[in-house]
Structure 1
């Protein structure tokens, strides 16, 4: 199967990365989140019967909004697939704790001005990145599992107690 065909059928880039087990086209994909800044929690089936579910994606986009401005932005569905694959890899059903999902350009500029760890052109502004933790999973294990998926960028921030994952190019870094 060609890569384009795999993407069209919803297999994504993560099939081989989760122990040789691809997401089956008919397999439902459910993810649970807890936004640490808003206190909101949500468990949603966002993929079913071979397609993404718009209402579930809208609810997930709302939960991942910029908590500073309230601005909601479309989150790349592949990011949900990556986080779902990460939970499978970790054999965890715990909710993903969202520290930062979407960031408006204004929020990102403010954060960048106050921290060298915030990229000027952050993928958070495109809805392609999140900073997270998973209850019961230590950060080095979370980082290693994310890196093993090779689904995009992985940043390790042990002092701030989170791991960054994105669906950009495959790369890794650590906050020294």
Structure 2
């Protein structure tokens, strides 16, 4: 391949990339640079936090640490880094619902000990729960009907969605797309 052909190839690739980006909705471009904020309230500990976790081009480590603390296993006190994709999912969920209300946490991270105890009491608790991997959360949002929260989560097609109306929460995770 000659230098001319190589340069021509680079130019054509650049034009192709520009054409592809021009097809991305303007809102997607804006979301890459817009700050992202979430507010949490843990029903078990009474703790809350409201943080901007994404500023243009990067996650804020101190905000993620604050989230991880509020989402810790309230039975053991253990915390672990939660999946950043879970925070992205929750942010997008609040956008779909057009709400800036706080997200109430029923269960965030679960230690293996806590998960085993809960699984021993209920067949509805997965023995290999995504909660133990920091990839799942059980939530409610004041003023938002659980059925609407479920529908919004399903519309995102970004992971698992469990509906527990009798217990008053919706489960979302960043695993494979599925529902129950």
Name the TM tier (shorter chain): 0.7 to 0.9
Partner of 1:78: 85
Q: Is the aligned partner of 1:35 residue 2:42? A: yes
Partner of 1:102: 109
In 2: Cα distance, 1:21 partner to 1:78 partner? 19
Tell me how far 1:25 sits from its aligned partner.
2.0
What CA deviation, in whole Å up to 9, does each residue of 1:113-136 have, x standing for no partner?
A: 001110000000000000000010
Task: Quickly say closer, same or farther: Cα 1:95–1:124, change in 2 above 3 A.
Answer: same
Q: Is the aligned partner of 1:161 residue 2:150? A: no
User: What is the root-mean-square deviation in Å for CA atoms of aligned residues?
Assistant: 1.4
What CA deviation, in whole Å up to 9, does each residue of 1:59-85 have, x standing for no partner?
A: 100010000000011100110110010
In 1: Cα distance, 2:62 partner to 2:51 partner? 10
Alignment of 1:53-64 (within 5 A): 53-64=60-71
In 2: Cα distance, 1:93 partner to 1:54 partner? 22
> 1:144 is matched with which residue: 137, 142, 151?
151
Alignment of 1:86-97 (within 5 A): 86-97=93-104
> 1:24 is matched with which residue: 12, 22, 31?
31
Name the count of aligned residue pairs: 156
Superposition misfits of 4+ residues, deviation over 6 angstroms: none
Tell me how far 1:21 sits from its aligned partner.
3.6
What CA deviation, in whole Å up to 9, does each residue of 1:93-129 have, x standing for no partner?
A: 1100000000000000000000111000000000000
**Structure of larger gyration radius:** 2
Higher helix share: 2
TM-score (normalised: structure 2): 0.84
Residue 65 of structure 1 aligns to a residue whose secondary structure is coil
Query: Structure 2: which 5+ runs fail to align?
Result: 1-23
Tell me how far 1:20 sits from its aligned partner.
8.2
Query: Structure 1: which 5+ runs fail to align?
Result: 1-15
